Structure 1
């Protein structure tokens, strides 16, 4: 109990400092709105090119979902929780800000302005699209007379948006209706355990589906808070 109270007190103090340093012009709904409108726009653009009758396309989609899930795991584990070279900025934002703003005993936002430390910065989805989604789509199309690359873009952008949605939902108040979805509460509790300051560098790095946590033996099945 003392450790819980201490981490909560530190989080409250950190929140006060973080909020006081925030740009007063920050608009949370513009932040979230850009991320989801841009991502959905790319998905819809790519979806108009899908050849749904092509089995190979569905295999490409599955590959994109697996790559996205691994990317979620790898970036979170090896960049978000390790200060490596050019990844220092991401480490500072994730471990330095996010994990000190939200601890396992204090997971919810007090207002929409707290989304600043919850969602990825808006430019990141643009970077993912122009460096991973669209180049992959173009490359796949070079080896096919069909536009099979569209499956790749849809899958990559979907994993990004799915991450943002799931992560946001884990920071909603206890008792939210989302907890009634079968299997969801287990995922939320996994993420809450990840926000234990003693555990965060070691376990539960997948945010959506814990596939690579299972494959790489980094799941923590036990309640620690």
Structure 2
């Protein structure tokens, strides 16, 4: 369901040419539906329970909180990736890098092979699917995207 929504809705609505958010009518294509945060937290509960059982109750709470925080951070950084006309965001290092990687992620020539992760490209690094971000990545995001 998540993959279908991502590819069928998000990537057809936002392309590497028209990546920018243009108002409240874009929310549906930009963010996960309202029930998604609850579903992601519920999906994290079994992992947190195992961690809590193996280590400690506090470790389980920390794991659950971390997974929920990661989802919220993902949604926030993903949303910022679609605000392309912002001189302020162009100068914020982490946000600018995430926006640059996300623009590459929406490029049809590479979207099936590179930049699958948005916030922390851990799996992209492990599986060799992360595109190199040149030193020019510190420069403002191109306005054409």
TM-score, normalised to structure 1, is 0.54
Q: How many residue pairs are counted as aligned between the two chains?
A: 135
RMSD, aligned CA: 2.2
Query: 1:215, 1:147 → 2: CA distance?
Result: 29
Shift in Å at residue 138 of structure 1? Answer: 3.0
Q: Which has the larger radius of gyration?
A: 1
Shift in Å at residue 105 of structure 1? Answer: 1.2
Counterpart for residue 219 of structure 1: 130
Query: 2:56, 2:2 → 1: CA distance?
Result: 39
Counterpart for residue 124 of structure 1: 36
Counterpart for residue 16 of structure 2: 104
Matching of residue 148 in structure 1 with residue 59 in structure 2: yes
1:55-85, Cα deviation, whole Å (9 max, x unpaired):
xxxxxxxxxxxxxxxxxxxxxxxxxxxxxxx
Matching of residue 114 in structure 1 with residue 26 in structure 2: yes
The aligned runs of 1:43-58 (5 Å cut-off) are: none
Name structure 1 gaps, 5 residues minimum: 1-88
Query: 2:105, 2:97 → 1: CA distance?
Result: 13
Name structure 2 gaps, 5 residues minimum: 135-144
Greater length-normalized contact order (CA 8 Å, ≥ 6 residues apart): 1
The aligned runs of 1:8-47 (5 Å cut-off) are: none
Shift in Å at residue 221 of structure 1? Answer: 2.6
Higher helix share: 1
Residues 146 and 107 from structure 1, CA distance in 2 versus in 1: closer, same or farther, beyond 3 angstroms? closer
Contact 2:51 2:59 (C-alpha < 8 Å) held by counterparts: yes
1:187-217, Cα deviation, whole Å (9 max, x unpaired):
2111101111121111111100222211211
